[in-house]
Amino acid sequence: MITFVAVGILLWLLGLSLSSPEGFQQAAAVMDSFVVKFIVWGILTALAYHIAGGIRHMLMDFGFLGETLAIGTRSAQVAFGITVVLSILAGVLVW
């Protein structure tokens, strides 16, 4: 449910910014708020986590990663580390 709300927010901002030069100015004004920047950063962080976990699972499904508990734990740690790095990069992008 939250995913649909997050995608709705991002699509609304995209549509507003692409509608006209005035719409772009409105979208830029909306993004000036700390609360909105924090929400967008949270959405981008959740998206990064979802992508990193999805790639991890695809690699496991295709047999590139083993199916032991140790490898599963290590791949989860790597996916989480990648998420942290992408979260920091998203923060730099938003702010």
Question: 25: left (phi > 0), else alpha (psi -120 to 50), else beta?
Answer: alpha
What value, to the nearest 5°, has the Cα angle with vertex 76 and ends 71 and 79? 125
What value, to the nearest 5°, has the Cα angle with vertex 34 and ends 33 and 38? 120
50 is in an annotated binding site: yes
- Binding-site residue positions: 50
- Binding-site residue positions for heme: 50
